Amino acid sequence: MHVGIVGAGPAGVSAAVFLKRCGVRVTIFEKSSVGGLITNAWRIENIPFMTACRGEKVAERLKQALHEHSIDLHHEEVLTVCGNKIVTNQREYSFDKIIVASGTIPKKVLELEVSKNVVYEYKYLPRTVESLAILGAGDAAFDGALKAFEDGVKSIHIFNRTDKIKAVKRLRDLVEQSNVVYHPQEAIFSAIQSDKLILRTSKSEYTFDALLICIGRIPNVSFVTKSDTIHIVGDARGCYRQMSIAVGQAIEAAMKILEE
């Protein structure tokens, strides 16, 4: 049996390692870096048997697991998944079963994408950022603010178009204890890139080095045609944003494949 896996985040790597240990041939596809969105995390601390750590540490462990188990990793962009075939930007592959662990894609604000200094993931921020604006008020926004604070960013502002904060209490409390400035009911309407990034809001005008947009994400499955040979797991199946759930679903899919 040969199983193709789309995505080398925690779910994809967990499924790959489980299957490989059971003697199944596995090929995993990842267009970016191993770890997926988990690389952006300020801290992973809600799994009791794991020592709390930054997302980069988890990504390094995932890379190590792929190496330890000699799992075939292809850095290719997957264009379509249909039946037993995975088509990438380089070629077409056939498999007995396929696991899609492709995670999510961001909800975008196209009018704010005025330069490379406007990003949807923390890891894509320029390294020289000293002032950062964050749009959104969920876990990703507050987590990104804490990571920026820990990384020494001098000025961090969170902008929320409403007064409702969706981030968990733990993150809210930590942000309140930092130097992060929170702007409720202040939407960002426009952006202009000059020497600095100029942001106009419903209340004022600001200048920053970069903007991190965190207004939500949706499952990344538009390229998948569902069939009995394909198992969709993790955030690609539902945006829980919990690594433990994604890993559990991946192991469940791997066990089902072994039983089929």
CATH T-level assignment (fold) for domain 108-213: FAD/NAD(P)-binding domain (3.50.50)
Mean pLDDT, the chain, integer: 96
Structure-block tokens of residue 116: 């490379």
Mean pLDDT of 11-35: 97
Q: What's the CA gap between 78 and 65, in Å, rounded? A: 22
SS3 106: strand
Mean pLDDT of 52-62: 96
Gyration radius from the chain CA atoms:
20
Beta bridge partners of 133: 157, 211
Task: Report the CATH superfamily, name and number, of domain 2-105+217-259.
Answer: FAD/NAD(P)-binding domain (3.50.50.60)
State pLDDT tens for residues 79-132: 999 999 999 999 999 999 999 999 999 999 999 999 999 999 999 999 999 999
User: Where in the chain is CATH 3.50.50.60?
Assistant: 2-105+217-259, 108-213
Q: What's the CA gap between 57 and 39, in Å, rounded? A: 8
- pLDDT band (50, 70, 90) for residue 238: confident
Based on the number of CB atoms within 10 Å of its own CB, is 127 exposed (0-12), middle (13-18) or buried (19 or more)? exposed
